[in-house]
Amino acid sequence: MRSETSLRAGVVGLGWAGRQHMDAYSSQADVELVALAGMEADQLALLGDKYGIAPEYRFADWADLVAANCVDVLSIATPTALHAPIAVAALDAGIHVLSEKPMAENADKAQTMVDAARRNSRVLEVSFNHRRRGDVQVLKQIVDAGLLGDIYYAKAGWLRREGIPGMGSWFTRQAKSGGGPMMDIGVHMLDMALHLLGEPDVTTATAATYAEFGPRGKGASAYGLGRKTEVTADDFDVEDLATAFLRLDGGGTLLLESSWAQWIPYDQCYVTLYGSEGGAAIEWGGEPGDPYRKLGIWTEKDGVPAVLTPVVPPDGGHLETVLQFLAIVRGDAPTEHDGAEALVRAKVVDACYASAAKHAEVSLGG
């Protein structure tokens, strides 16, 4: 029997990310996963059986789930171009929303999500699960404690040697995805960097994008949706590498880069901070069979150079993201969480793409 204090949860999207949300909701005693939506009939049946979803709450169309008035909270794990329409409809129906990143295919669509959250006094959160990493969490504590002093320069990047996801799928079509690696994985690094830096305003963006692999059918991921090698202009109209130089309010700068494919020895991710009193770097990547993770902090003690090795807590991932979302929904000030922080990321990504198209610096002024 359902408790009066339990929350009814639903998930739209039956892929890997959606399943992370399903697992998270199902792990909580005070949450009932009651509805799923997705177009893949076989997966809908399989997952419906796995999570004990009643047949009448297994929907092929997300709009039917929203209209059924059967959930209090909803996770969205669909192609990017569906985030805004699903979120707006759900928020207008009084449902709290947790969307996968990126927030939407552009900042205008992201703004409609924020507007819907505000007019309905509902929670809108966007899942940036990588900020839940243990190394990011401990470095955030170190930065906030002032150990690095004033951070004036930062670098962040996610680089793949060969990892274009789903060549010819929605990932590589601008109308459905909003962009290539800058939108897909670069936004994770942008989020981590701004989070660590204390959310400074980005004032200008100077960016460039390149498509040297995808249009030739090269660089496809060995996993996921296959390795299509014969592509047309309709199959791939996004970048496969993007780089941006961002000026921050207060005079700091952030160098951001992301790629799905380039000639490097192995995949690499990093966030590096340069402060007046110390520096720090998080790195992970490596060969599939030989991955590595590093967290380094360099400073001095009484004039003597010092290297710090803090204890790193376990990663949080999607579970922690979902748990925080649920806590916000149940908290004292849920309307303070309206997606505004994620909207900032969307505006920065838009500015980067605009700069790349114009070959000029773009301002993010008010």
36 and 144 belong to one structural domain: no
Could you tell me if residue 255 is inside a domain?
yes
Pairing of strands 290-301, 124-127: unpaired
167 and 298 belong to one structural domain: yes
- Give the pLDDT confidence score for residue 5 in this predicted structure: 77
CA dist 131 and 136 (Å) reads 6
250 and 330 belong to one structural domain: no
The vertex-269 CA angle with 201 and 152, nearest 5°, equals 35
- Give the pLDDT confidence score for residue 234 in this predicted structure: 76
Could you tell me if residue 174 is inside a domain?
yes
91 and 187 belong to one structural domain: no
CATH of the domain at 273: 3.30.360.10
218 and 325 belong to one structural domain: no
- Give the pLDDT confidence score for residue 4 in this predicted structure: 62
Pairing of strands 290-301, 304-308: antiparallel
188 and 83 belong to one structural domain: no
87 and 231 belong to one structural domain: no
160 and 194 belong to one structural domain: yes
- Give the pLDDT confidence score for residue 166 in this predicted structure: 87
Q: What is the DSSP code (8-state) at residue 175?
A: H
Count Cβ atoms below 10 Å from residue 100 Cβ, excluding itself: 25
Provide the greatest CA pair distance for the chain: 69
- Give the pLDDT confidence score for residue 223 in this predicted structure: 57
Could you tell me if residue 177 is inside a domain?
yes
CATH of the domain at 72: 3.40.50.720
Instruction: Enter the tokens of residue 131.
Output: 């900020």
14 and 87 belong to one structural domain: yes
* Per-residue pLDDT tens digits of the chain, which is 366 residues long: 455 679 999 999 999 999 999 999 999 999 999 999 999 999 999 999 999 999 999 999 999 999 999 999 999 999 999 999 999 999 999 999 999 999 999 999 999 999 999 999 999 999 999 999 999 999 999 999 999 999 999 999 999 999 999 888 999 999 999 999 999 999 999 999 999 999 999 999 999 999 999 999 999 986 544 455 567 767 899 999 999 999 999 999 999 999 999 999 999 999 999 999 999 999 999 998 999 999 999 999 999 999 999 999 999 989 999 999 999 999 988 889 999 999 999 999 999 999 999 999 999 975
- DSSP-derived 3-state class of residue 15: coil
- Give the pLDDT confidence score for residue 229 in this predicted structure: 57
157 and 217 belong to one structural domain: yes
Could you tell me if residue 26 is inside a domain?
yes
Could you tell me if residue 355 is inside a domain?
no
CA dist 114 and 34 (Å) reads 26
Residue where the block lists tokens 């000026």: 247
With CA atoms as reference, report the closest residue to 129 among 322, 363, 305.
322
- Give the pLDDT confidence score for residue 224 in this predicted structure: 46
The domain of 46 spans 7-129+319-337
Strand partners, 186: none
143 and 286 belong to one structural domain: yes
- Give the strand order in the sheet containing 73-76: 58-59, 31-37, 7-12, 73-76, 96-100, 124-127
Could you tell me if residue 228 is inside a domain?
yes
Count Cβ atoms below 10 Å from residue 353 Cβ, excluding itself: 24
150 and 72 belong to one structural domain: no
Could you tell me if residue 363 is inside a domain?
no
- Give the pLDDT confidence score for residue 226 in this predicted structure: 47
Could you tell me if residue 344 is inside a domain?
no
pTM, whole model, 2 decimals? 0.95
| Tally of domains in the chain | 2
